[in-house]
Structure 1
Amino acid sequence: MSIKLVRCAAAIASIVVMALGAQPAGAQSSDIDPHATQLLRRMTEYLAGLKHFSVDSDSTLEVVLTTGQKLQFDTAATATIRRPDRLRAERRGEVVDQVFYYDGASLTLFNLANRRYATVPAPATLDAALDFARDRLDIVAPASDLLATNAFERLTQDLVGAMVVGTSVIGGASTTHLAFRSPEVDFQVWVQDGDRPLPRKYVITTRRVEGMPQFAVTLNRWNLDPKVPDSLFAFAPPKDAKRIDFLKPEGRMP
């Protein structure tokens, strides 16, 4: 990058900092704008109140190498939810190619590439099943932070900063951009304006990992009245599929 471009980038960054009223690098802020948390609560309560929906998303996961170089891995996903006890999520990308099934009694992960699948009994509600998948199996469903019925409490636990950044357009939808801070992570949410406050983009920055990698997901197409028969959530293994066991993360499962 040329000296002129570096100076230009620095000038633009300074303008953005001043426009947002943000603290300089290294400064700490404990300010919580109640309007930001109100909008977040409105969004999470709206999502929790939806009995069934489907959404397509595109996500980018950053990985920081030991050299400090960052790599990004992209994934496309489609998730269908029927509360209180059904979820199907299909993810396809560079590092993942699988379908996640939850039918109210069992949880199954099917790897499309090698035709392997694993199934375990699961709790009887979606909230509990997502916790079980994360805590016991190291499996995180796409944007699962936003799906829980108590998502607001989870997202705002240990919150030290919240602000309304401004307005933006995501996927053709007018949104309000919110930013939040906690001791370990920062996250941003772009909430659709109007009477359907859907999340349109979600970004998590891991502050306590060197290089502060990010996970970003754009929620592109929402269907709030999908046709969701029971068969959509039930896994029927193909004839060429082979059953295996889930790996047991060290220290998490007996």
Structure 2
Amino acid sequence: MEFSEIRKITIKRPNHLRVEALQSDGDKSLLIFDGKTITLFNASENVYSQTDYPGDVDAAIRYSVAKMGIRVPLARMLLSTFPSEIQKLSTNIDYEEHDILGTAPTDHIVGQTKDIDYQVWIAKDMLPKRIVITYKKAPKQPQFRGDFSDWNSAPKISDDTFIFTPPKGAEKIPTFLPVTESDITNKTHGGVR
């Protein structure tokens, strides 16, 4: 089973992030971090939620994935610490070949960590053009494939890019996260989440 998604990611360090996503089923979503608030918007349902979280892009990504349960493909690659983290986590890295079949020639690198096998195709400009990740410890070893395009390492980005203005009729909801058994237990016992 294979699903597709197109993402446009805009980062203005130290504390601005915008991720626009379009899924193969037509669902559109948006994540905006403005240095103070993480906003999630689902266009299909016209709902959004906001969470106060001051900090930088790295902290917001880690919080969004670990605490909020937001799916952010290749989140680790968005961190400023990615180069040192991938070196530390990799148990094996090999040069596979010089690949001439893509839109531009690339160097094909393969690597392994404890949990994944990965392949990355890197162009002459030192930016990745493609990545394949195999989750070797997961049932049936699923894969993630990503193709990168339209890199711009020196964009002119307006701060307005990171302002969320709810569309007409959009409903603000407390969270996109599913209700858990402990939420129900806390609620029935007067607990506060």
Query: What range describes the TM-score normalised by the shorter chain of this pair?
Result: 0.7 to 0.9
Distance across 1 between alignment mates of 2:24 and 2:167: 23
Give the equivalent residue in structure 1 for 2:157: 228
Give the equivalent residue in structure 1 for 2:128: 199
Give the equivalent residue in structure 2 for 1:35: none
Residues 78/241 of structure 1: CA separation in 2 closer, same or farther (3 Å cut): same
Which of residues 107, 132, 137 is equivalent to 2:63? 132
Match of 1:180, as an amino acid? Answer: G
Distance across 1 between alignment mates of 2:17 and 2:147: 19
Runs of 4+ in 1 over 3 A off after TM superposition: 248-251
Distance across 1 between alignment mates of 2:168 and 2:55: 28
Match of 1:154, as an amino acid? Answer: E
After TM superposition, give the deviation of residue 122 of structure 1 in Å: 1.8
Distance across 2 between alignment mates of 1:242 and 1:150: 36
Q: Gaps (5+ residues) in structure 1?
A: 1-70
Match of 1:81, as an amino acid? Answer: I
Q: Which structure shows the higher helix fraction?
A: 1
Alignment of 1:158-237 (within 5 A): 158-169=89-100, 172-193=103-124, 196-237=125-166
After TM superposition, give the deviation of residue 217 of structure 1 in Å: 0.7
Structure 1 residue 152 corresponds to structure 2 residue 83: yes
Alignment of 1:1-254 (within 5 A): 71-94=1-24, 96-169=27-100, 172-193=103-124, 196-246=125-175, 247=177
Distance across 2 between alignment mates of 1:206 and 1:241: 37
Distance across 2 between alignment mates of 1:155 and 1:241: 40
Residues 249/170 of structure 1: CA separation in 2 closer, same or farther (3 Å cut): farther
Give the equivalent residue in structure 1 for 2:190: none
After TM superposition, give the deviation of residue 93 of structure 1 in Å: 1.1
Match of 1:79, as an amino acid? Answer: I
Match of 1:110, as an amino acid? Answer: F
After TM superposition, give the deviation of residue 134 of structure 1 in Å: 0.6
Residues 82/219 of structure 1: CA separation in 2 closer, same or farther (3 Å cut): same
State the TM-score, normalizing by the size of structure 2. Answer: 0.85
**Equivalent pairs: percent with the same residue?**
28
Match of 1:227, as an amino acid? Answer: K
Greater CA radius of gyration, 1 or 2?
A: 1
Q: Gaps (5+ residues) in structure 2?
A: 184-192
Which 10-residue stretch deviates more, 212-221 or 170-179? 170-179
Figure out how many residues of one structure are paired with residues of the other and give that number.
181
After TM superposition, give the deviation of residue 157 of structure 1 in Å: 3.4
